[in-house]
Amino acid sequence: MEKRTLLAVALSILVLVAFSYFLQPKNAPQPEQAKKAEPKSETPAAAVKGIPSVPPQTPQAPVPVKAAGADIAIETDLYRAVLTTNGAVIKSWELKKYKDKSGIALSLLKQPGAIPPLSLLFEGAEKDFPQKVTYQSNTDSLTLNKDKSKGEIILNYDYQGLRITKHFIFYNDGYNVDLSIETVNTPVYSLAVGTEFGIFEIADNIHRGPVILVDTDRSEFDEKLKETKNFTGNIFWIAQEDKYFTAAIVPRTAVLGATVWKDGTAPEIALKLNPGKQDFVLYAGPKEYDKLKALNLKLEHMVDFGWFTIVAMPLFWVLKFFYKFIGNYGWAIVLITIIVRIPFIPLLHKSQQTMKKMQDIQPQIAEMKERYKKDAQKMQKELMELYKKHKVNPMGGCLPMLLQIPVFIALYNVLAKAIELRGAPFMWWITDLSVKDPYYIFPVVMGATMVIQQKMTPTTMDPMQAKMMMFLPIVFTFMFLSFPSGLVLYWLVNNLLAIAQQYYANKSMAHSS
């Protein structure tokens, strides 16, 4: 029965891995770009369904007028962006410090998407009205540098008392933008992040899509979203995110709530707002923990290391500390793997001794099971006496591994999600620790070290079970072929340390016997 159970487990693992690798969709479906109506700045507010008819009011101070449908280019040391007077939304956003696979500036907005970034959505039949009109702008471009560290752009629509104004303040040294929106004689409306804004890279098992922080709860959504979700309470921010980048909106004034819904195939998230003046901070850039925390907007919670964040954060800080002195994240990974293993050395040594003793008394255990196979209670009592006589704790071999699991998972998440490793070289053919080994050398060597480790480790399994366990290195090698090389490096170094410790333990036990 034990052999059949073990075989079933091994086959189940293989089936799950094969399903995940070959059948699970890798890319989320891309939404079709919504068709936009031709902008008509002359559209009367009274002619738009859902928009109340209002009497003309005293016009505001004149704003310099741009040609209808013009683009406004923004250039800083960190990014290039384009606003359009068609709908007063973001048209493009490129990060200069980060490159895509082609070596050009990375775009956080490859296409406008079903809902363009910073769209205002009215409640009522004509919810897309703010995107159907042409706004006036105070400038046709904005260039920032060390001599001019900030600048503003004002986009305004004003017709028969209905007014919408978006006021942007850009900074040269940050990815944050101050945004104020003022509406007059409009219904309740929503401010959307944009279905495609802030999403660039696709990574298996890493969230990609809307995310929201309400009080202390971080909620994530993706293309599997089936129904609209509404949020109230203390909403700190809403965002779209992928593995390394994000576009987030942080409300600085009171909001009515937030909503997540599906627009076609793409999930969207927006803040629900009352008419009047509202203030926000827009952040569109990398998920760098230190930069996000420095903004003091709780955006550092955008960097999520999973269940064991309380363990992962110290490991993350230590990793960056080593990098400051070494200047190479590959060697920093090697060092942190050694450091993490040191506290477990005594426990692991004790575990290895326990496994060796269990191996030595295995013939007696087998004989006892045969003798008392019809009397389970008697067999259990005799087994306890045998363990007591030889000073063996059967759980002693498992406890160290259980204690290591939170540390392993935490470090795994740090190496998988930290943007610091994106584009970071190690040596020789490993030019980017965040992507897979192009020649699969690390995964194959890692698999070989697992075989060596199995051969050296004392076991209480029978020969058939031991042979079946030899499938594990094959399964792990297969899985690790597509893992980031930084993760494989960590696992490989950990295996080498385990082999060294097992060798020492085997030598010590051989001398003492």
User: The CATH number of the domain where 89 resides is what?
Assistant: 2.70.98.90
Q: Per the domain annotation, does 361 fall within a domain?
A: yes
Beta bridge partners of 258: 231, 271
Q: Per the domain annotation, does 16 fall within a domain?
A: no
Does the pLDDT of residue 463 top 80, yes or no?
A: no
Say which range, 53-57, 176-180, 485-489, has the weakest mean pLDDT. Answer: 53-57
Q: What is the pLDDT of residue 412?
A: 83
Q: Are residues 102 and 251 in the same domain?
A: yes
Say which range, 36-45, 124-133, 180-189, 478-487, has the weakest mean pLDDT. Answer: 36-45
Q: Are residues 181 and 323 in the same domain?
A: no
Q: Are residues 258 and 344 in the same domain?
A: no
Say which range, 144-158, 457-471, 473-487, has the weakest mean pLDDT. Answer: 457-471
The 10 Å CB-count burial string (b at 16+, else e) for 197-209 is bbbbeebeeeebb
Does the pLDDT of residue 7 top 50, yes or no?
A: no
490-513 pLDDT tens trace: 889 988 988 887 777 667 666 655
Report the distance separating Cα 443 and Cα 16, nearest Å: 19
Q: Are residues 294 and 355 in the same domain?
A: no
Q: Are residues 271 and 329 in the same domain?
A: no
Q: What is the pLDDT of residue 513?
A: 54
Q: What is the pLDDT of residue 4?
A: 40
Last residue of a domain, one of 256, 280, 302: 302
Q: Are residues 284 and 325 in the same domain?
A: no
Q: How confident is the model at residue 470 (pLDDT cuts 50, 70, 90)?
A: confident
Q: Per the domain annotation, does 11 fall within a domain?
A: no
Q: Are residues 371 and 457 in the same domain?
A: yes
Does the pLDDT of residue 358 top 60, yes or no?
A: yes
Q: Per the domain annotation, does 4 fall within a domain?
A: no
Q: Are residues 297 and 315 in the same domain?
A: no
- For 371, the domain range is 309-512
Q: Per the domain annotation, does 29 fall within a domain?
A: no
Last residue of a domain, one of 270, 286, 302: 302
Q: Are residues 201 and 317 in the same domain?
A: no
Report the distance separating Cα 177 and Cα 168, nearest Å: 7
Q: Are residues 169 and 99 in the same domain?
A: yes
Q: Are residues 332 and 235 in the same domain?
A: no
Mapped onto helix, strand or coil, the DSSP state of residue 107 is: strand
Does the pLDDT of residue 273 top 50, yes or no?
A: yes
Last residue of a domain, one of 302, 320, 336: 302
Report the distance separating Cα 287 and Cα 420, nearest Å: 9
Q: Are residues 319 and 248 in the same domain?
A: no
| 0.75 exceeded by pTM | yes
Report the distance separating Cα 287 and Cα 243, nearest Å: 8
Mapped onto helix, strand or coil, the DSSP state of residue 375 is: coil
Q: Per the domain annotation, does 20 fall within a domain?
A: no
Mean pLDDT computed over 474-487: 85
Domain count, the chain: 2
Q: Which two tokens stand for residue 469?
A: 């366990």
222-257 pLDDT tens trace: 888 888 999 999 999 999 999 899 999 999 999 999
Q: What is the pLDDT of residue 206?
A: 81
Q: Per the domain annotation, does 214 fall within a domain?
A: yes
Q: Per the domain annotation, does 193 fall within a domain?
A: yes
Q: What is the pLDDT of residue 370?
A: 73
